[in-house]
């Protein structure tokens, strides 16, 4: 590129604005490394499953109804987060706030149902290899959901305080990306823990 | 905080960047200094986010760890100098070689390169700071606390004792009941956080913070090296953090990941560890190779030969580096197909390394080398790299490796590559950039002495190890019988290690004296081509009074090279001074894109690191309530940090219902 060295004549946005803000790059890098973390978790799961001689899972094939409903709940929360950001762009901060609150409630519902699932398991973290894997993997995911919920709550507070509008809302974009990532990861976790045993 | 202007066009949200110049001593330059200076005293010390301050801290801290690790090695060499010596008990020896490995690999080798990169990146890229200055401070504090954490139990005789690679079941709950391995496991997870946030910072800095005109094919090779290492860290570090976390669960919470009695697999540990461990080998050498690629041409009086080839070979090395981890596990009884595949990839990795080596040799060959101290270190590095690389090719051959596995040959190989490719460029880099860091030159005579003592001591110490390995001497034994034929080589190795230590002492004495009495350094003492030499030595707190406009790879050599691309402009450029500001550019072409608001000094990173580290200490000591409290405190520090600020234009202007309380 041999462009002439002239200085910018156009006004440039100030601060963390635009689609590719510093925080956007940062959260993308975070997602890459967190995605790798879940990749290694699932690698461990499949590696150990491939060499086991035990029942996998010990209680027989997993029931899909409740986890399936829970998956739908989590995915729909992502839609609300997306809507929240879009409403900000369309200059509808009230609707945006409502969408964020709805997303947070759905996320909290996911956590509640997942904790119920934990409670219903006849084994614990230390009972068997499968138990160790199941609780560690879902526990890691639940932790990410919890962090995401705190983020959604903060975003909702900041929207309520009127910090963001159609011109400035990078934080909402960035927080939303993280939430979508947590949801996408759940699909992989769900496939590994609930659908994979049906293949065997 | 300025009053927000309500009427569009809103100058708080967008403006045409001012263009001008700000020579030293002008009003604008003095104002910039005030803006970017950290407050004096301990407050500034704890709250600074200046990349130069943080980079120097990284360098100093990692050098202290280097000395500690070196003393550990010397004690071991005294023990091994002759047969049947009993200076150390087996347990003490185990802890010494383990802590030596942990210290050198995790607390010296990467942090020292992070120090160089932290200090140099913004100066090389023509920016006023890193992309996330506060994150930068956090990564340093976490590194410091993790280092202290890893060493916390060592003085009590309870340090990690199963080798730095920490294989299960030896490190598992059955064979290792003390706190030794728990300290290692939790400390490594903590250190992993530091490495990760540092890596994110480097990546985003590269994509956003280059001076206008510095397209991706004009950045120095050190930047390529650190970028490649940082991307690798994103994908490699989670593996080892997870491995250590699972091990901690096995040890403290009765899980069965590595427990063969209940279906767990010890091999899972080796996979997870080496999936991280092998890429890590390249993480701690690629930035050091970048140091050589940038500094060597200065002393050869010509640009690096094959810039694009070297940049690409950097990335190719890393990509291949992710596909060779099994070569650490050749002797574990894996299927022959897997082993032959990984043997082949291990051989293939010598190709990109050779590209870099031939580029350096060609640069020396076609240039007019000036034999100053840094050049000696870089030239010595090339030689050691070749020797270490050749023994690497030998161990990549499976049949040979089965014979050499767990012998001193492997120890010799890894010390040739790690000392040869990390320590020599680092010391050369210190000699080279010391004037920039401190504003004074290092003593040339003592510099040459330190090089020759180091070089001779190193080869005297480590070359005989190859022989010891070929004679069958196993690694990690605390003593040996007198009739094995290993006495002479071990004595020579021990003598060599003390000569090497003397070289390190000469180097440190040179630093100490030069800090006080060295000749004052001009802006560009070596007549180097890259941008960090375009600012005074040491650089002012704002780095660049005006953001320069870059037209070539060697902005300071354009008067003597055919710069077909045009002339860079270092005197007149963007003069951003409405608070702490710098310029953001597009990812590939470096076209001005955004005026970035940079954060003020803040305590948030320090407290976040402190509370996280205390939380890990609580996990170690099983104080659950304390851990919970510290986690909450860390969370609050993070919320204070993240709170959208008017000053950084993260909020809509005109909202001032909430005061700027979240100063962290």
Q: What is the pLDDT of residues A131-180, one digit of tens each?
A: 999 999 999 999 999 999 999 999 999 999 999 988 888 999 999 999 99
Region B493-500: what's the mean pLDDT?
98
At residue B465, the pLDDT reads 96
CB-closest option in B16, B204, B652 to A164: B652
pLDDT digits (tens, 9 = 90+) for B439-459: 999 999 999 999 999 999 999
Contact B215 A1 (CB under 8 A): yes
The token duo for A191 is 């496939």
CB-closest option in A10, A12, A15 to B649: A15
At residue B1, the pLDDT reads 39
Region A74-94: what's the mean pLDDT?
95
Say if CB B344 and CB B337 are below 8 A apart. no
Region B64-77: what's the mean pLDDT?
97
Q: Which of residues 519-578 of B touch A (CB under 8 A)?
A: 549, 551, 564-569, 573-574
End-to-end CA distance of chain B: 16
How many other C-beta atoms are found inside a 10 Å radius of the C-beta of residue B468?
Answer: 26
Average pLDDT over chain A reads: 91
At residue B648, the pLDDT reads 87
Residues in chain B closer than 8 A to A13 (CB atoms): 13-14, 594-595
Chain A closest-CA separation from residue B425 CA (Å): 29
At residue B659, the pLDDT reads 41
Among A31, A73, A20, A37, which residue's Cα sits nearest to residue B242? A37
Q: Would an 8 Å CB–CB cutoff place A187 in contact with chain B?
A: no
- Would you say residue B662 has pLDDT above 90? no
pLDDT digits (tens, 9 = 90+) for B4-18: 434 445 677 888 888
Q: Would an 8 Å CB–CB cutoff place B336 in contact with chain A?
A: no
Region B193-221: what's the mean pLDDT?
95
Chain A closest-CA separation from residue B629 CA (Å): 16
With H, G, I as helix, E, B as strand and everything else as coil, classify residue B357.
helix
Residues in chain A closer than 8 A to B254 (CB atoms): 125-126
Q: How many helices (H) and strands (E) does chain B have?
A: 21, 6
At residue A2, the pLDDT reads 37
At residue B563, the pLDDT reads 56
At residue B10, the pLDDT reads 64
Region B386-414: what's the mean pLDDT?
94
The token duo for B29 is 């330059």
Q: Which residue of A has its CA nearest to B568?
A: A5
Say if CB B416 and CB B393 are below 8 A apart. no
Region B553-571: what's the mean pLDDT?
81
- Would you say residue B559 has pLDDT above 90? no
Contact B9 A51 (CB under 8 A): no
Say if CB B285 and CB B425 are below 8 A apart. no
Report helix, strand and coil shares of chain A as percent, to nearest 5.
Answer: 70, 0, 25
* CA B473/CA B300 separation, integer angstroms: 42
The token duo for B423 is 């320590």
Please, which pLDDT band fits residue B647 given cuts at 50, 70 and 90?
A: confident
With H, G, I as helix, E, B as strand and everything else as coil, classify residue B44.
helix
Chain A closest-CA separation from residue B634 CA (Å): 13
pLDDT digits (tens, 9 = 90+) for B182-204: 999 999 999 999 999 999 999 99
Q: Would an 8 Å CB–CB cutoff place B203 in contact with chain A?
A: yes
Contact B256 A2 (CB under 8 A): no
How many other C-beta atoms are found inside a 10 Å radius of the C-beta of residue B470?
Answer: 15
- Would you say residue B28 has pLDDT above 80? yes
**Maximum average pLDDT range among A2-11, B240-249, B643-652:** B240-249
Chain A closest-CA separation from residue B230 CA (Å): 10
Q: Which residues contact A133 (CB under 8 A, 6 or more apart)?
A: A44, A45, A48, B257
CA angle at B137 for the pair B657 and B429, rounded to the nearest 5°: 150
Give the residue from A31, A40, A155 with the most B CB atoms within 10 Å of its CB, the best one to mutate: A40
Q: Which of residues 380-399 of B touch A (CB under 8 A)?
A: none
Own/partner long-range contacts of A111-115 (Cβ < 8 Å, ≥24 apart): A111/A142, A111/A145, A111/A146, A111/A149, A113/A66, A113/A69, A113/A70, A113/A73, A114/A70, A114/A138, A114/A142, A114/A145, A115/A142
- Would you say residue A1 has pLDDT above 60? no
At residue B481, the pLDDT reads 95
φ, ψ dihedrals at A179, nearest 5°:
-60, -45
How many other C-beta atoms are found inside a 10 Å radius of the C-beta of residue B481?
Answer: 9
pLDDT digits (tens, 9 = 90+) for B340-392: 999 999 999 999 999 999 999 999 999 999 999 999 999 999 999 999 999 99
Please, which pLDDT band fits residue A19 given cuts at 50, 70 and 90?
A: low
User: CA B135: distance to chain centroid?
Assistant: 16
Eight-state DSSP code of residue B150: H
Region B630-658: what's the mean pLDDT?
84
pLDDT digits (tens, 9 = 90+) for A180-196: 999 999 999 999 999 99
Determine which helix (DSSP H) or strand (DSSP E) holds B582, and give its type and residue range: strand B581-585
- Would you say residue A84 has pLDDT above 90? yes
Percent of chain A with pLDDT over 70: 94
- Would you say residue B658 has pLDDT above 50? no
Residues in chain A closer than 8 A to B255 (CB atoms): 125-126, 132, 136
Residues in chain B closer than 8 A to A167 (CB atoms): 13, 652
- Would you say residue B509 has pLDDT above 90? yes
Q: Would an 8 Å CB–CB cutoff place A19 in contact with chain B?
A: no
Among B243, B106, B95, which residue's Cα sits nearest to residue B168? B243
Eight-state DSSP code of residue A193: I
pLDDT digits (tens, 9 = 90+) for B290-311: 999 999 999 999 999 999 999 9
Eight-state DSSP code of residue A14: B
Please, which pLDDT band fits residue B120 given cuts at 50, 70 and 90?
A: very high
For every residue of B342-354, DSSP letters joined together read HHHHHHHTHHHHH
User: How far is residue B473 from each of residues B401, B412, B466, B492, measured CA to CA in Å?
Assistant: 14, 12, 10, 15
At residue A20, the pLDDT reads 73
Residues in chain A closer than 8 A to B204 (CB atoms): 22, 25-26, 29
Please, which pLDDT band fits residue A114 given cuts at 50, 70 and 90?
A: very high
* CA B132/CA B208 separation, integer angstroms: 11
- Would you say residue A98 has pLDDT above 80? yes
At residue A18, the pLDDT reads 55
With H, G, I as helix, E, B as strand and everything else as coil, classify residue A121.
coil
Please, which pLDDT band fits residue B650 given cuts at 50, 70 and 90?
A: confident
At residue B265, the pLDDT reads 95
- Would you say residue B486 has pLDDT above 90? yes
Average pLDDT over chain B reads: 93
Report helix, strand and coil shares of chain B as percent, to nearest 5.
Answer: 65, 5, 30
Residues in chain B closer than 8 A to A39 (CB atoms): 238
CA angle at A145 for the pair B143 and A158, rounded to the nearest 5°: 85
Contact A15 B215 (CB under 8 A): no
Chain B closest-CA separation from residue A188 CA (Å): 17
Q: Which residues contact B45 (CB under 8 A, 6 or more apart)?
A: B38
Please tell me the least confidently modeled range out of B344-353, B503-512, B555-564, B622-631: B555-564
Question: What is the three-state SS of B10-36?
Answer: CCCCEECCCEECCCCCCHHHHHHHHHH
The token duo for B161 is 């004792």
Q: Which residue of A has its CA nearest to B654?
A: A163
At residue A22, the pLDDT reads 87
pLDDT digits (tens, 9 = 90+) for B91-113: 999 999 999 999 999 999 999 99
pLDDT digits (tens, 9 = 90+) for B580-636: 999 999 888 899 989 999 999 999 999 999 999 999 999 999 999 999 999 999 999
Please, which pLDDT band fits residue B216 given cuts at 50, 70 and 90?
A: very high
Say if CB B210 and CB B135 are below 8 A apart. no
Give the helix ranges, DSSP H, for B103-132: 110-125
Give the helix ranges, DSSP H, for B209-285: 221-253, 266-283
The token duo for B103 is 């210290």
* CA A169/CA B296 separation, integer angstroms: 46
CA angle at B23 for the pair B19 and B26, rounded to the nearest 5°: 100
Among B34, B149, B170, which residue's Cα sits nearest to residue B476? B170
Among B181, B160, B87, which residue's Cα sits nearest to residue B478? B87
Region B123-127: what's the mean pLDDT?
95
At residue B564, the pLDDT reads 58
Say if CB B474 and CB B481 are below 8 A apart. no
| Residue B584 β-bridge partners | B594
Percent of chain B with pLDDT over 90: 86
Q: Which of residues 105-144 of A touch B (CB under 8 A)?
A: 125-126, 128-129, 132-133, 136
| Residue B14 β-bridge partners | A13
Residues in chain B closer than 8 A to A174 (CB atoms): none
Say if CB B492 and CB B468 are below 8 A apart. no
* CA B556/CA B297 separation, integer angstroms: 13
Q: HSE on the CB side for B77, CA within 13 Å?
A: 23
Say if CB B409 and CB B459 are below 8 A apart. no
At residue B661, the pLDDT reads 41
Give the helix ranges, DSSP H, for A19-64: 22-50
* Pairing relationship of beta strands B19-20 and B14-15 according to DSSP bridges: unpaired
Residue B88 region by backbone torsions, left for phi larger than 0, else alpha for psi between -120 and 50, else beta? beta
At residue A118, the pLDDT reads 95
At residue A6, the pLDDT reads 64
């Amino acid at each position: 590129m041999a462009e002439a060295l002239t200085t910018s004549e156009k006004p440039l946005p100030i601060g963390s604005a635009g689609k590719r803000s510093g925080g956007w790059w940062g959260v993308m890098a975070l997602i890459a490394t967190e995605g790798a973390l879940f990749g290694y978790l699932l690698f461990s799961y499949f590696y150990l499953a491939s060499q086991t001689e035990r029942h996998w899972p010990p209680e027989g094939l997993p029931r899909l109804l409740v986890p399936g409903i829970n998956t739908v709940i989590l995915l729909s929360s992502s839609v609300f987060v997306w809507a929240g950001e879009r409403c900000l762009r369309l200059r509808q901060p009230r609707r945006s706030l409502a969408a964020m609150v709805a997303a947070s409630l759905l996320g909290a519902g996911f956590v509640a149902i997942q904790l119920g699932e934990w409670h219903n398991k006849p084994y614990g973290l230390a009972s068997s290899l499968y138990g160790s894997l199941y609780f560690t993997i879902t526990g890691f995911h639940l932790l990410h959901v919890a962090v995401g919920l705190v983020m959604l709550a903060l975003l909702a507070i900041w929207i309520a305080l009127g910090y963001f509008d159609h011109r400035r809302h990078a934080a909402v974009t960035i927080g939303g990306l993280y939430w979508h990532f947590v949801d996408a990861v759940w699909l992989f976790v769900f496939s590994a823990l609930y659908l994979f045993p049906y293949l065997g | 905080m300025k009053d927000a202007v309500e009427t569009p066009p809103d100058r708080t949200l967008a403006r045409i960047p001012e263009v001008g110049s700000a020579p030293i001593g002008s009003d604008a330059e003095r104002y910039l200094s005030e803006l970017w200076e950290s407050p004096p005293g301990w407050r500034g010390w704890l709250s600074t986010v200046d990349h130069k301050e943080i980079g120097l801290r990284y360098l100093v801290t990692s050098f202290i760890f280097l000395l500690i690790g070196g003393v550990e090695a010397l004690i071991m060499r005294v023990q091994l100098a002759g047969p049947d010596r009993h200076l150390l008990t087996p347990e003490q020896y185990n802890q010494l070689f383990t802590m030596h490995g942990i210290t050198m690999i995790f607390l010296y080798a990467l942090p020292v390169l992070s120090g160089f990169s932290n200090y140099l990146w913004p100066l090389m890229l023509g920016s006023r700071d890193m992309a996330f200055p506060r994150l930068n401070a956090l990564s340093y504090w976490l590194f410091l606390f993790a280092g202290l954490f890893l060493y916390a139990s060592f003085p009590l005789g309870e340090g990690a004792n199963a080798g730095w690679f920490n294989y299960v079941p030896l490190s598992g709950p059955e064979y290792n009941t003390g706190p030794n391995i728990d300290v290692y496991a939790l400390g490594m997870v903590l250190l992993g956080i530091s490495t990760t946030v540092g890596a994110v910072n480097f990546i985003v800095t590269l994509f956003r913070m280059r001076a206008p005109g510095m397209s991706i094919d004009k950045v120095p090779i050190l930047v390529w090296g650190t970028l490649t290492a940082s991307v690798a860290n994103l994908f490699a570090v989670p593996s080892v953090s997870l491995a250590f976390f699972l091990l901690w669960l096995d040890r403290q919470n009765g899980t069965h990941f590595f427990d063969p009695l209940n279906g767990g697999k010890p091999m899972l540990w080796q996979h997870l560890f080496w999936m991280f461990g092998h890429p890590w080998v390249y993480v701690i050498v690629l930035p050091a190779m970048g140091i050589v690629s940038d500094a060597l041409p200065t002393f050869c009086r010509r640009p690096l030969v094959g810039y694009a080839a070297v940049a690409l070979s950097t990335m190719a090395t890393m990509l291949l580096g992710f596909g060779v981890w099994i070569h650490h596990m050749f002797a574990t009884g894996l299927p022959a197909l897997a082993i032959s595949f990984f043997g082949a990839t291990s051989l293939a990795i010598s190709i990109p390394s050779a590209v870099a080596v031939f580029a350096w040799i060609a640069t020396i060959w076609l240039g007019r080398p000036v034999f100053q101290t840094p050049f000696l270190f870089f030239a010595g590095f090339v030689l050691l790299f070749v020797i270490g690389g050749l023994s690497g090719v030998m161990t990549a051959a499976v049949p040979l490796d089965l014979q050499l596995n767990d012998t001193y040959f492997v120890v010799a190989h890894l010390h040739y590559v790690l000392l040869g490719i990390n320590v020599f460029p680092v010391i050369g880099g210190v000699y080279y950039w010391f004037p920039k860091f401190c504003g004074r030159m290092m003593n040339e005579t003592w510099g040459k002495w330190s090089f020759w003592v180091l070089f001779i001591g190193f080869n005297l110490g480590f070359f005989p190890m190859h022989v010891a390995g070929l004679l069958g001497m196993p690694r990690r034994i605390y003593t040996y019988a007198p009739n094995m034929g290993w006495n002479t080589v071990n004595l020579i190795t021990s003598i060599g290690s003390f000569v090497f230590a003397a070289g390190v002492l000469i180097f440190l004495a040179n630093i100490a004296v030069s800090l006080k009495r060295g000749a004052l350094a001009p802006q560009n003492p070596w007549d180097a081509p890259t941008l960090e030499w375009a600012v005074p030595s040491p650089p002012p707190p704002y780095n660049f009074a005006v953001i320069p406009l870059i037209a070539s790879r060697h902005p300071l050599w354009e008067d003597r090279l055919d710069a077909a691309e045009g002339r860079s402009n270092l005197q007149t450029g963007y003069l951003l001074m409405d608070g702490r500001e710098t310029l953001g550019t597009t990812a590939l072409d470096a076209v001005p894109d955004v005026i970035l608001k940079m954060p003020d000094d803040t305590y948030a990173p320090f407290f976040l690191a402190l509370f996280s580290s205390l939380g890990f200490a609580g996990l170690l000591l099983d104080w659950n309530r304390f851990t919970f409290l510290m986690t909450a405190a860390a969370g609050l520090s993070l919320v204070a940090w993240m709170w959208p600020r008017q000053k950084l234009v993260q909020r809509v202007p005109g909202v001032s219902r909430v005061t700027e309380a979240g100063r962290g």
